[in-house]
């Protein structure tokens, strides 16, 4: 960037131009807010303020990382999800707005004052589990992951948010769980096909592949979850799964084959069927 552009307004304009992406203005603002340890309102009110050489250098360094494709969440070390500030590292999947659809469907299904048991499979940062725990304080949420590094991040996020109705456990899906029945199982599992060309583009290049891909068609982990879920659900318990934009029908068929009932879909912000859910039949919940 041009070091002569020392005002906040000028630096933001030039950074946005250099980024040249759909979220360039937002990314530039978030980076500068991070450097100055401030918020959007302060930047607007002080748009003509000049940056010190140290502030400029720090902003430029972060901008270069973003220009190299590094996700904004990794640069800042956090991402907001369902109104909750969450720590994010390169060991975790970055929480995305699409996944809020899964949380919304879970909250619609769980009565506000319900005392219930919820299992979150593949919790990552803890985003789904923590959002449910926050909005359903009487729920007891168990969250598992096969990555100890991810579990450490999720535990830190829970502590930072002061949520004590969620616990974290190491488990590769159901493998380490004790015999226990849940009212609901939720999961945002890997669902990208291993040869998907999008894996070499955008933010996913910097995320753990184990949290993204799942076999030739992207459905291996979903198949595993669906085939085992009934043994961990109470009668009439619910299974809610996030999946790819074109996988809703395939996931619904898997649920049907596993004798789930009341199968339905929830739409994301783009109107795409992003979540598929079903109720376990009392006859197979044994």
Whether the CB-CB separation of 95 and 81 falls below 8 Å is answered with yes
Residue 57: give its domain's CATH number.
1.10.8.10
User: In this structure, are 242 and 175 located in the same domain?
Assistant: yes
Any bridge partners for residue 192, and if so which?
213
Q: Which residues contact 1 (CB under 8 A, 6 or more apart)?
A: 11, 14, 15, 18, 56, 60, 63
User: In this structure, are 241 and 273 located in the same domain?
Assistant: yes
pLDDT digits (tens, 9 = 90+) for 125-177: 999 999 999 999 999 999 999 999 999 999 999 999 999 999 999 999 999 99
Give residue 284's pLDDT.
Answer: 60
By 3-state DSSP, what share of the chain in percent is helix, strand and coil, each rounded to 5?
A: 45, 20, 35
Nearest residue to 131 (alpha-carbon basis) of 148, 156, 106: 106
From CA 73, how far away is CA 90, in angstroms rounded?
A: 9
Domain count, the chain: 2
Phi, psi of 214 (to 5 degrees): -155, 75
pLDDT digits (tens, 9 = 90+) for 175-185: 999 878 999 99
Instruction: State yes or no: pLDDT of 286 exceeds 60.
Output: no
User: In this structure, are 129 and 181 located in the same domain?
Assistant: yes
Q: Which residues contact 234 (CB under 8 A, 6 or more apart)?
A: 117, 181, 182, 183, 280, 285
Q: Could you tell me the pTM of the whole model?
A: 0.92
Domain span holding position 39: 8-68
User: In this structure, are 142 and 245 located in the same domain?
Assistant: yes
| Residue carrying structure tokens 């640069």 | 75
Is residue 75 in a domain?
Answer: no
Query: Taking all residues of the chain, what is their mean pLDDT, rounded to a whole number?
Result: 94
pLDDT band at 285 (very low <50, low <70, confident <90, very high): low
pLDDT band at 230 (very low <50, low <70, confident <90, very high): very high
DSSP state letter for 281: P
Whether the CB-CB separation of 90 and 150 falls below 8 Å is answered with no
User: In this structure, are 188 and 62 located in the same domain?
Assistant: no
Give residue 206's pLDDT.
Answer: 84
| Percentage of the chain modeled with pLDDT above 70 | 97
Give residue 3's pLDDT.
Answer: 64
Give residue 202's pLDDT.
Answer: 79
Instruction: State yes or no: pLDDT of 226 exceeds 70.
Output: yes
């Amino acid at each position: 960037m041009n070091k002569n552009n020392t005002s906040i307004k000028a630096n933001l304009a030039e950074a946005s131009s250099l980024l040249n992406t759909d979220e360039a203005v937002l990314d530039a603002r978030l980076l500068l807010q991070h450097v100055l340890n401030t918020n959007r309102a302060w930047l607007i009110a002080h748009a003509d303020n000049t940056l010190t050489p140290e502030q400029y250098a720090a902003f430029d360094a972060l901008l270069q990382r973003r220009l190299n494709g590094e996700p904004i969440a990794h640069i800042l070390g956090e991402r907001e999800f369902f109104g909750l500030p969450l720590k994010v590292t390169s060991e975790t999947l970055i929480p995305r707005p699409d996944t809020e659809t899964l949380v919304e469907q879970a909250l619609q299904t769980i009565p506000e004052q319900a005392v219930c048991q919820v299992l979150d499979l593949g919790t990552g940062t803890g985003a789904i589990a923590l959002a449910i725990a926050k909005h359903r304080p009487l729920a007891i949420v168990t969250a598992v992951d096969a990555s100890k590094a991810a579990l450490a991040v999720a535990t830190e996020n829970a502590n930072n948010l002061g949520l004590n109705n969620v616990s974290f456990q190491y488990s590769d899906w159901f493998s380490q769980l004790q015999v226990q029945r849940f009212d609901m199982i939720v999961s945002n599992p890997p669902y990208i096909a291993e040869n998907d060309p999008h894996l070499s583009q955008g933010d996913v290049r910097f995320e753990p592949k184990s949290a993204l891909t799942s076999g030739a068609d992207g459905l291996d982990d979903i198949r595993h979850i669906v085939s085992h879920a009934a043994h961990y659900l109470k009668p009439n318990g619910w299974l809610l799964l996030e999946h790819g934009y074109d996988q809703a029908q395939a996931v619904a068929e898997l649920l049907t084959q596993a004798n789930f009932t009341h199968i339905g879909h929830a739409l994301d912000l783009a109107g795409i069927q992003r979540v598929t859910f079903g109720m376990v039949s009392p006859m197979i919940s044994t």
